[in-house]
Amino acid sequence: GGVTVPRAGLKKYVLPPDYSGITFPERTKLKFMEKVPAVPKVKRETRQLRDIRGPSHEATEFTQGQYGILALGGGYLHWGHFEMIRLTIGRSMDPKTMFAIWRVPAPYKPVTRKSLGHRMGGGKGPIDHYVTAVKSGRLVVEVGGRCEFGEVKPFLTQVAKKLPFPAIPVSRDGLQQMRQEEEEKKLNNQNPWTFERVVTANMLGMRKYLSPYDLRLKGRYWGKFYLKHRV
Amino acid sequence: ATAANMAALSGGGGAPWRRGWLPALQFVRRGSKAVTRHWKAMHFQRQKLMAVTEYLAPRPAIPPRCLTPRKGRVEEEDNGYARLLRRQVEEVFRDNRMIAVCQYNSMPGEDVVLMRHYLRKHNIEVKFVLNEIVRPVLSQSKYKNLLPLFVARNILLVSPELKAKEMLRVLKGVPQINLLGACIDNTILSRQGVENLAKLPSLEVSQGQTVGALALLPSQTSSLLQRGSAYLTALLDEHIRQLQARETGSPAEPAPAQSSG
């Protein structure tokens, strides 16, 4: 053959995305979350930090929306965080084509604070404010509608950075891919010694230095932190 | 843990035991709670365990850097538009007697229109084709030998009649289009072949020529048959002329009466 001069070939037209299966809720914007629940708690509660520890078992999958903010660590969200999320997302999204829904409840857990400058003792302090507990792996908000991930990602990252725990914006595909990668890592790990194996068999008496919760957490969680790089 | 401690107590060790020091029986009770805002310091044994049980990525025998990356296969999406174009090309090759492949260099738009107009007058259509569509069609049909022509930009001049001379005349006036080859009546011709075809006389003239050639022999038959008597007549005429010439040398002889007989 002769000398090929590169030139444009046949244009492949990309079909526009199909938004057929999307149902919009009645209110597209995030609803206002109360600072204090309607029936404020009379009895002060114990700290119960176990509601931060470990992986989440609720709100881990997408329901209505296509994109969301995934928590990669545990923490408490108080009313300031809720307002920040509501206002930022409300400002950046288009209510006609997109909608957003909460995946966390309004603050319900009372947190007590003693007044400043007093010594220890004198009983438990009064209730200062209410918070919601969030475990790692939970979705905080979900966004959906006739929009692409690229449109939604900027303001979701903006919100995710301001949360008290590490968080990332994800789409349905992204989350699925993350889970798949995790599974693959587990399968193709070349290290014959895994935390799970050591703990369940109590090799070298390691359980003396580990918590009984480590049987469940398997070395991927430490306190409220989620260790992403461990298998 | 308790059994080990009892053994240590009874076994005896060193100064701490003599002072009545007991080791911390429960490691967990010291320090902060399990869930802290800060990163809680891990026990050294736990640190060692975390270090030992880290993820080791698989190492392939040949590092991916050394392997040449396989060229990603062209997507065989087969969109309907490509299918339609391929069908059109097949139709073109089926319906027309003369198909000429020309190289197309960029021409001003009005010149293209003019050229198309002139060619249309002789019932020749100009078709712009994309190589990526024509090549698979040709490779599967009987026109495999036309494949080397479909490289870089080209156009097809198609016509149900053979008007090579007019086509060449129009193309001569357009310097940007060069004839590469043609497929006329299922015969592949090069540029020279097309020019020779154009130089051939038209159908009627060649028909007339063949008729003339064929009729030449029967026309000669009568002259052949008459050749003997014609030769004799010629000889006698010659003889008479010689006699006349001799007699005009000696004057006044009534020769014409004899020559007419």
| Domain interval for residue B102 | 81-199
φ, ψ of residue B128 in degrees (nearest 5) = -90, 130
User: What is the pLDDT confidence band of residue B5, given thresholds at 50, 70 and 90?
Assistant: low
**Does A15 reside within a domain?**
no
Residue range B161-188: average pLDDT? 86
More confident residue, B159 or B14: B159
3 state DSSP class of B180: strand
Alpha-carbon gap, residue B202 to B97, rounded angstroms: 17
Query: Token pair 């000398």 is at which residue?
Result: A3
Does residue B156 belong to any structural domain of this protein? Answer: yes
Residue A52 lies in a domain: yes
Query: What single string gives the DSSP state of each residue in B101-165?
Result: EEEE----HHHHHHHHHHHHHTT-EEEE--HHHHHHHHHHSS-GGGGGG-SSSEEEEEESS--HH
Is the Cβ–Cβ distance between A209 and B45 less than 8 Å? yes
Closest Cα in chain B, distance from residue A24 (Å):
33
Please, what is the average pLDDT of chain B?
82
- Residue B141 located in a structural domain: yes
B66, part of any domain: no
Evaluate if residue B49 carries a pLDDT over 90.
Answer: yes
Residue type, A226: Y
Per-residue confidence (pLDDT) for residue A1, from 0 to 100? 45
A117 assigned to some structural domain: yes
**CB-CB neighbors (< 8 A) of A50 in chain B:** 35
Question: B40 to chain A nearest CA, in Å?
Answer: 8
pLDDT score for B235? 95
Is the residue at B25 inside a domain?
Answer: no
Confidence of residue B133 (pLDDT cuts 50, 70, 90): confident
Of B1, B57, B133, the CB nearest to A208: B1
Instruction: Assess if residue A194 is contained within a domain.
Output: no
CB contact under 8 Å between A74 and B49, yes or no, is no
Alpha-carbon gap: B28 to the closest alpha carbon of chain A (Å): 8
Q: Which single residue is written with the structure tokens 């209510």?
A: A95
Q: What confidence score (pLDDT) does residue A3 get?
A: 58
Residue B37 pLDDT more than 90?
Answer: yes
List chain B residues with CB under 8 Å of A208: 1, 27, 45
Give residue B252's pLDDT.
52
Cα Rg, chain B, nearest whole Å: 52
- Stretch B40-60: mean pLDDT: 95
Nearest-Cα distance to chain B for A12, in Å, is: 8
Residue B132: pLDDT band with limits 50, 70, 90: confident
The pLDDT value recorded for residue B81 is 85
Contact between residue A167 and residue A228 where contact means Cβ atoms under 8 Å apart: no
DSSP state of A67: E
Q: Highest-confidence range of A49-53, B150-154, B171-175, by mean pLDDT?
A: A49-53
Residue B207: C-alpha distances to residues B117, B195, B202 (Å): 31, 20, 9
Is A230 in contact with B54 (Cβ distance < 8 A)?
yes
| Cβ contacts of A1 on chain B, cutoff 8 Å | 148, 151
- A61 inside domain: yes
pLDDT at B198: 85
> Is B252 part of a structural domain of the chain?
no
In a domain? residue A150: yes
The verdict on a CB contact (< 8 Å) between B35 and A224 is: yes
Q: What are the residues of chain B with a beta carbon less than 8 Å away from any beta carbon of chain A?
A: 1, 27-28, 33-37, 39-40, 42-43, 45-46, 49-50, 52-59, 77, 79, 81-82, 85, 130-133, 148, 151-153
Long-range interactions of A9-16: CB distance < 8 A, separation 24+: A9/B130, A9/B131, A9/B132, A10/B81, A10/B82, A10/B85, A10/B130, A10/B132, A10/B133, A12/B77, A12/B79, A13/B79, A13/B81
B193 pLDDT band, cuts 50/70/90, is confident
Domain count, chain B: 1
Whether B12 maps to a domain, the answer reads no
Q: Is A59 inside a domain boundary?
A: yes
Q: Which DSSP symbol is given to A152? A: H
Domain carrying residue A129:
22-171
DSSP letters along A87-117, please? Answer: HHHHHHS-TTTEEEEE-SPPP-EEEE-PPTT
DSSP for residue A203: G
> In this complex, which of A7, A190, A223 lies closest to B35 when CB atoms are compared?
A223
- Tokens 């024509």: give the residue: B134
pTM of the model: 0.69
Per residue in B66-80, pLDDT tens? 888 777 766 666 778
Which CATH number fits the domain that encloses residue B144?
3.30.70.1730
Q: List the one residue out of A225, A205, A195, A146 whose CA is nearest residue B38.
A: A225
Taking residues B238-261, report their average pLDDT: 72
Residue A28's CATH number: 3.90.1170.10
Counting the structural domains of chain A, the total is 1
B220 or B260, which is more confident: B220
Question: Which tens digits make up the pLDDT trace of B136-170?
Answer: 888 888 877 888 888 888 888 888 888 888 888 88
Give strand pairing partners of B92. none
Residue B205 placed within a domain:
no
Longest dimension (CA), chain B: 189
C-alpha distance from B111 to closest chain A C-alpha (Å): 22
Q: Determine the average pLDDT of the residues in A171-195.
A: 96
> Quick one: tokens of B244?
């006349």
Interval B229-255 mean pLDDT: 85
End-to-end CA distance of chain A: 54
Residue contact B152–A3, C-beta within 8 A: yes
Residue A192 belongs to a domain: no
User: Which of A25-28's residues contact partners 24+ apart within 8 Å by CB, and which partners?
Assistant: A25/A64, A25/A99, A25/A101, A28/A95, A28/A96, A28/A98, A28/A99, A28/A100, A28/A145
CA atoms lying within 13 Å on the CB side of residue A86: 16
Confidence of residue B261 (pLDDT cuts 50, 70, 90): very low
B-chain residues near A191 (CB < 8 A): 53-56
